[in-house]
Structure 1
Amino acid sequence: MLAKYNPGVIICLRKLTICTLLVLLTFSGHGQEFLFNRKRQKQSISFKCIKNLMVIPVFVNGNGPYDFVLDTGVGPMIITDPSIIDSLNFGKLRKIKVLGLGIESVDAYVSQSLNVKVGSASIKYIPAAVLKEDLFNLSGHLGLKIYGLLGYSFFNSFIVDIRYSENRLIIYDRDTRIKYRGKKIPIEIENQKPYIFATIDVPNGKTVEARFLIDTGASHALSLEMLNGTGFPLPEKKIKANLGMSLSGLIKGYVGRIKRFNIGGYVFKDVVSGFPDFASIADKIDLSKRNGNLGADLLRKFNIQFNYQDGFIYVKPNGFRKVPFEHDMVGMVLYLDQQTYKRVLIGEIDENSPAEKAGLQPNDEIIGVNFKSMDAYSLNDLTEMFKSKADRAIILEIFRDNQTYFKVVKLEKRI
C-alpha cells in the first residue's frame, strides 16, 4: 500500500499502494507470533493519527524506536527506509527482485532473522522485506520519519482494539476474555489480509454486495475497482484524478461520491471514493479477490476490535461517525523534500483545480500560509485545512525561482 516517490511525480495519499501491488515470496520457517513478556495479558499503546494512518513506535533488534504504519493491508513486515539496513547490519541478507507494475523489478532484501518489539510484546524471526531504495517517501508525505509498515504478524498475534477516537489501541493476549463492544461483523483472512462484505449503491440505482480489503494503511475512504468483471460504474459527477502511485507508476482514474455504503447495518451517505482506471490495472492486480478497498477515512468512524483468529470484528461508531466525507478542495499534493524533510513542496496539481487557477506550479515551495510561517503547521494541518470549507480563501506565500509570491487560493467543493 505505499506510494513510490519520484522527484517529478508526487504521490497522492488518497491511496497508499504498496503491498496490494507488491509480489513477494512466501515466507516460512520460524514461529511468527508476538508474545507478551512474563504474565502480561494486555497493553495500551498510543498512536499518532496522521492523514488517517496509525503510526506506532517499533523496536527492531534492540534499536529504535522507529515509527511504523500499522497496516492491515500488508502481510510480511515491510521496511521502506533503507537507512535502517546499515544500522541493523543487513549486509548479508539475501537479495530478491520484487515485481512491480509497469517496471521490470526493484531490489529488496529478505529477512527472517529480525527481532521486533512493540510495547511489551515481542516477536523473533519476523518475516520481513527490506526495500533497497526509499521508493515511497512515506516520510515526505506524512511529515514524520517513517521506517516501514507492520501488518499481519501483529494483528494475527492479538485481539487488537483500535480506538480511533482516543488515538490509542489496546492489544490483548488471544486467550484473554475481553468485553466486545458494538456490532459483530464476520471477516475473512486470505493471503494474510482481512476482507469484509458490504452493500453499496451503484449509479444505475441498484444495490450490490461487494467484497472489500480492510486497509488501515490507506488514507482514503473507499476505492472501487471492479464489478462483474469490469470497471466499477462511475457516478455522474466526478473529476479526473491521480489516485496514487505503485511500483508501476501513476494510478489514474476518477474521484466521485457513492450515495450509500452499508457496512454491518451502519449506513454512510455521499462517501468520497476513488475509481481506478480498470483497463490500466485489470491485468496487473488480482481483482478476483475483491471489488475494492475500504480505507481509514471510513474505518476511523468506528472503534474497531479485530479478531483475526476467529474471523470477526466488532465495530462501534465514535465521535467521527457524523463527520461528512470531504475531498481535497485545492487540487494539489504537498510533500516534504527528501533531503531535509523541512521544505514543503507542491507536487502534482489537478487540471482546472483551485490550485491551478491561483497560478501555483509543481515544485513551488510553500513558505507561509495565512501570513504564518510553516513552523506553525504540520502537513496534516494543511491537509485538514484544504478540506475545511468551500469558498474559504487561503493565502499561500511561495518561493519560486529565487522570488517570493503571494497566491490566494479559494477552496472549491469539486465533487
Structure 2
Amino acid sequence: MLTKYSPGVIICLRKLTICLGFVFLFFSASAQEFFFKRNRQKQSITFKCIKNLIVIPVYVDGKGPFDFVLDTGVGPMIITDPSIIDSLNFNLLRKIKVSGLGIETVEAYVSQSLDVKVGGATIEHIPTAILKEDLFNLSGHLGIKIYGLLGYSFFNSFIVDVRYSENRLIIYDHDAKIKYRGKKIPIEIENQKPYVLANVELPDGESINARFLMDTGASHALSMEMLRGTEFPLPEKKIKANLGMSLSGQIKGYVGRVARLNLGGYNFSSVVAGFPDFKTIADKIDLSKRNGNLGADLLRKFNIQFNYEEGFIYVKPNSFSKIPFEHDMVGMVIYLDQKEYKRLIIGEIDENSPAEKAGLCPDDEIIGVNFKSVDTYTLNDLSELFKSKADRSIIFEIYRDKQVYFKVVRLEKRI
C-alpha cells in the first residue's frame, strides 16, 4: 500500500487519527528509561534534518544503526519495519486491531522485550508498538529508509537539547549541570506527550490563548483543529488541500495563514497553517484538551531544551527564526515508490494548481528537474524548490505511457 503526503504540509497528521494512540495502555505503569553507563552525564548526537524532521541513528537488540524519527508526538516507540528484529515471533506478541475509515483493519503488535541504544544511552525492555507494514510510508516521504519512531521514552529519560541550527542533539542526565538558554516556557506532559500554550490571532482580529501539542514529528508549522468546541474559523484566503493520509483515510481540509502567533514572547506573523475537517478528526480524537498541533516548521526556528521531568522548555531563536513561512507553490504530491525507491512518482494534484495547469498527471514518473537527473536531488531539495519563489519556472521531465514529456510549471503563491 502506498501512503501519500502533501509536500510541506502535514506528514504527521497521521497521529491525529491513528488508533495506536491507545497502545500505551497495554504497557505497565512503571516507566522504563534510557540510562548512561560508566557515570556518563551527557552526549552530543548528530542528526539529519529532513523536511524539518529529526532523524537519528538507533540500535535495536544490538543491530543497526537504523534511522528513526525523533518524535515528541508519539508515546511508545513504533517500529514500522519489523525485519530489523531477528528473533521476532508475532505468535508470542499481544495483537491489537487498528482500523479506520478508508482502509481495511490492520494488525499491530505490542512488545516489551526489545533493548535499544542511542549513542551511549541504553534502554532495556522499551515499550514498543510493531507494525507488520509501513503504513505511514515515511521512507517514501523522506527519501531514506526509516525504520520507526522514537518518542516519550527518550525525552522523559534526559534533558534533551535540540539544536536545529546545528543538526545536533545534546542529551543530559537529570543530575548533570546544565546551562539553560533563552526563555523558559511551562509545558504539560499528558498521555506521554508535551503540550504548550501559545497566543494566536483569529481571522476577526481577536487574540486567544490556545493549547497545542508540541510535535517534532510533524513537518508542518501549525495545525488548527478546534475552537470552543467546534471547528477553528477559517481565514478568508485559503485553498482546499489534502492534508495527508492516516489509518483513517485521507484528511481533507484547507491551508491558509494565521496572522500572528506568539510563543513565549516571540512573535511570528503570517504562519502557514492546516485546517483539517473538524468532523473527521473529532470522531477519532478528543479535541477538548487541545486547539491544535505545533509542528517542526515552527519549532525549528528555535533551539529547544526539553525537560519533561520538571515540566518546562527553554527556547532561543536561531538562524531560521527570520525565514518567512511558505507553502508549496506547485500543488502536487510526490513520493518515492515504496518498493523501488529510485522512482519518483506524482500522487495527487490540487485542483486549479500550477501542476494541473502545466498538464502534469497523477502517476507520472519524474525523471528530471530543470534538465538535471532527478537522482541529483533529494526529496528535501525538491520540497524547498517547490516553495522557493513565486513566478519561478521549473521544467519537469516526466515519463508517461512509455514516452517522455517536458512540462513547465510556473510557481504560484496560492495563499
User: Which digits, 9 at most, give the CA deviation of each residue in 1:298-349, with x for residues without a partner?
Assistant: 0000000000000000000000000000000000111100112111110111
C-alpha root-mean-square deviation of aligned residues, in Å?
1.3
Matches within 5 A, 1:140-179: 140-179=140-179
Distance change (3 Å), C-alpha of 1:238 and 1:18 = closer
Segment of structure 1 superposing worse, 294-303 or 274-283: 274-283
Q: Which residue of 2 aligns with 1:183?
A: 183
Q: Do the aligned residues in 1 keep the contact of 2:100 with 2:249 (CA within 8 Å)?
A: no
Query: Counterpart amino acid of 1:144?
Result: I
Deviation digits for residues 1-21 of structure 1, max 9, x if unmatched? xxxxx44x6222522134442
Aligned counterpart in structure 2 of residue 10 of structure 1, from 4, 8, 29: 4
Paired with 1:196 and 1:370, the residues of 2 have a C-alpha distance of 42
How far apart are residue 144 of structure 1 and its match?
0.4
* CA displacement at 1:102 relative to structure 2: 5.2
Distance in 2 (CA, whole Å) between partners of 1:277 and 1:99 is 19
* TM-score normalised by structure 1 residue count: 0.96
Q: Deviations over 1:350-374 (max 9, x none)?
A: 0100000000001100000111111
Aligned to 1:298: 298
Residue 355 (structure 2) aligns with: 355
Aligned partners of 2:29, 2:113: CA distance in 1, in Å? 10
Distance in 1, matches of 2:244 and 2:371, equals 31
1:39–1:47 Cα change, 3 Å: same
In 2, Cα distance between equivalents of 1:357 and 1:10: 21
Q: Deviations over 1:198-237 (max 9, x none)?
A: 0100001100110000000000000000000110000000
What's the CA shift for 1:247?
0.5
Q: In the alignment, which residue of structure 2 is the partner of 1:3?
A: none
| Structure 2 contact 304–314 (Cα < 8 Å) conserved | yes
Flag the 1:283–1:62 CA change in 2: closer, same or farther, 3 A: same
Instruction: Give the distance between the partners of 2:342 and 2:181, measured in 1 at CA.
Output: 42
1:22 aligned residue = 18
For residue 262 of structure 1, give the secondary structure of its aligned residue in structure 2: strand
Q: TM-score, normalised by structure 2?
A: 0.96
**Partners of 2:365 and 2:193 in 1: CA distance:** 38
Measure the CA separation in 2 of the matches of 1:208 and 1:83. 47
The 1-side partners of 2:395 and 2:104 are apart by: 43
Corresponding residue number in structure 1 for 2:367? 367
Give the CA deviation at 1:30.
6.0
Greater Cα shift, 167-176 or 74-83? 74-83
- Offset of 1:104 from its aligned partner? 6.4
> Cα gap change, 1:31/1:190 in structure 2, threshold over 3 Å: closer, same or farther?
closer
SS of structure 2 residue aligned to 1:360: coil
* Structure 2 counterparts to residues 63-82 of structure 1, below 5 A: 63-82=63-82
CA contact (8 A) 2:195 2:214 kept: yes
Q: Matches of 1:400 and 1:292 in 2, distance apart? A: 40
CA distance in 1, matches of 2:328, 2:103: 30
Answer whether contact 1:243 1:274 (CA < 8 A) is retained: yes
Structure 1, unaligned stretches of length 5 or more?
Answer: 1-5
Deviations 1:361-415 (A, max 9, x none): 0110000011111121001000000010000001000000000000000000000
- Give the SS at the match of 2:17: coil
Q: Please state how far the C-alpha of 1:140 moved relative to its aligned partner.
A: 0.5
* In structure 1, distance between residues paired with 2:101 and 2:78: 18
Aligned 1:289-368 pairs, distance under 5 A: 289-368=289-368
Identity of aligned residues (%): 75
Q: Distance in 1 between matches of 2:80 and 2:16?
A: 15
CA distance in structure 2 between the aligned counterparts of 1:399 and 1:225, rounded to whole angstroms: 39
Letter in 2 for 1:12: S
CA distance in 2, matches of 1:135, 1:302: 31
Question: Is 2:88 aligned against 1:89?
Answer: yes
The one-letter code of the counterpart of 2:89 is F
- For 1:285, the aligned partner's letter is I
Which 10-residue stretch deviates more, 35-44 or 277-286? 277-286
Residue type of the partner of 1:375?
A: D
Q: 1:182 to 1:84 in 2, by over 3 A?
A: same
* Alpha-carbon spacing, 1:31–1:215, altered in 2? closer, same or farther (3 Å): closer
Higher-helix-fraction structure: 2
1:57 and 2:51 correspond: no
Which amino acid letter does the alignment assign opposite residue 409 of structure 1? V
Q: What do the CA deviations read for 1:163-185 (whole angstroms, capped 9, x no partner)?
A: 00000110000111100000000
Aligned partner letter, 1:390: A
5+ residue gaps, structure 2: none
- Secondary structure at the aligned position of 2:55 is classed as strand
After superposition, where does 1:76-155 map in structure 2 within 5 Å?
A: 76-85=76-85, 87-91=86-90, 92-101=92-101, 103=103, 105-155=105-155
Q: Is the 8 A contact 2:6 2:333 kept in 1?
A: yes
Q: Does 1:399 align with 2:399?
A: yes
What is the one-letter code of the residue matched to 1:167? N
Contact 1:47 1:54 in 2 (8 A): yes
